[in-house]
Structure 1
């Protein structure tokens, strides 16, 4: 049987609340989030939000920071898999679990909010077989006890919801990053453990974007790779 690697990397919550059914974009869900709903801001009070490189680009520009400054001030690194490939998550408020961008009126960076926040309550599942070169995507539904948006009388297809949330741009600009991670995960130990230097370069190229730009523009880089 072909080995398939699943990556639910854009859900801001653990996998436990994910309804175990793979959905296509044409599937209809019932959901609406609105100010005034009894659970308003509940999902932002206990965050676990993984960031894509494009998420970092949007947020660091919104905040007027360099990528290095943003990473230090607003993120925490985490190990995506046992060989040490590193991901980045939003850092919650000090001594708490709430999002630092949460206000009484909602998200303070709403127009630049991360991919995970745009998808919720949908989870993106990216899959790649060992004998394939590109990933395939489907979806699952995240249902948590605190979220009352599922009770709203508003049917919408996942494709429609993704369009409303502006996800085409976010997904397209994160596709290469996801494929790289899926390639490593689907290959498993056959690829071998990356060197410390390659892991450092991966982190810089994916997340510390300004520093990577300076690196590839440096004389040393041009001499080595020209």
Structure 2
């Protein structure tokens, strides 16, 4: 039997979060009456998930590409260079949507803002196909919301903030991230084309729609007329995008393809790889010959120092 070791309080780290569940009670509230109102928005570091972008681009009357260009900045989420998106801020780190009276896009604010006061953790145990969701208190030094008199369960707080709708639509995308992370070296670093697809399918839904409507996509995947018509709905198309990512990145076949199209694509890709290799070899030989000629012209033996 493993020995249980008690750690005295003075040796316990505050950096290890206490994991909360939906039934955990917290004492927290955020509203215009708190003295720190808007402070969090003036030190904004907001990572966006796919449904955040759907809501915000619709609220602002923009395409997803326009929204990404005007209101976001890219970053790398891991050592492989997997792209992520954050809300753009001004030079003082203030959110571009904050006003003195509060958030100007409050009804469509991102999930990270809705969760504020709490952090979200998704965990998948080794060998499990399901992830579990936990929460933790995110107590920032300036935040007075933790001194509020409101006592509420995490479940009710999430309902109050309108989080469940966001979590439901983003869940499959979060599962993709967890699967990639848990697979680790097994899948290796995705190629640049996979990153392009991942970015488009996750964050640029209007460009993804044009991609799905393109002749090249129709040659590869069998999509019914009813499905194509349904893709005018952003949420339906977003969920299809997640399915496509699972199929391309993890070979989870849920979207039928035309017979032999994948084999043909692989043969075409092999031809491209061979041509690139041949070009690289020819370039290397050309440079070696140029160096040899330069050495001869200078009176030196090739390779001499």
Same topology, TM > 0.5 = yes
Structure with more helix by fraction: 2
Alignment-derived partner of residue 41 in structure 1: 38
1:19 deviation in Å? 6.3
Among 108, 112, 128, the alignment partner of 1:112 is: 108
1:188 deviation in Å? 0.9
CA RMSD of aligned residues (A): 1.4
Give unpaired runs (5+ residues) of structure 2. 1-13, 223-305
Q: Counterpart of 2:173 in 1: which secondary structure?
A: helix
Alignment-derived partner of residue 10 in structure 2: none
Pairs within 5 Å for 1:142-181: 142-181=138-177
Once residues 215 and 201 of structure 2 are traced to their aligned partners in structure 1, the CA distance between those partners, rounded to angstroms, is 18
1:225 deviation in Å? 2.3
Once residues 141 and 15 of structure 2 are traced to their aligned partners in structure 1, the CA distance between those partners, rounded to angstroms, is 12
Q: Counterpart of 1:21 in 2: which secondary structure?
A: coil
Residues 170-215 of structure 1, C-alpha deviation per residue, up to 9 Å, x if partnerless? 0000011000000001111111110000001000000000000110
Structure with more strand by fraction: 1
TM-score normalised to structure 2 length: 0.67
Once residues 39 and 31 of structure 1 are traced to their aligned partners in structure 2, the CA distance between those partners, rounded to angstroms, is 13
Pairs within 5 Å for 1:14-163: 20-93=17-90, 95-163=91-159
Give unpaired runs (5+ residues) of structure 1. 1-16
Alignment-derived partner of residue 194 in structure 1: 190
The runs of 4+ residues in structure 1 deviating greater than 4 Å are none
Alignment-derived partner of residue 10 in structure 1: none
Matched residue count: 210
Higher relative contact order (CA 8 A, sep 6+): 1
Highest CA radius of gyration, 1 or 2?
2
Q: Counterpart of 2:182 in 1: which secondary structure?
A: helix
Q: Is the 8 A contact 1:75 1:89 kept in 2?
A: yes
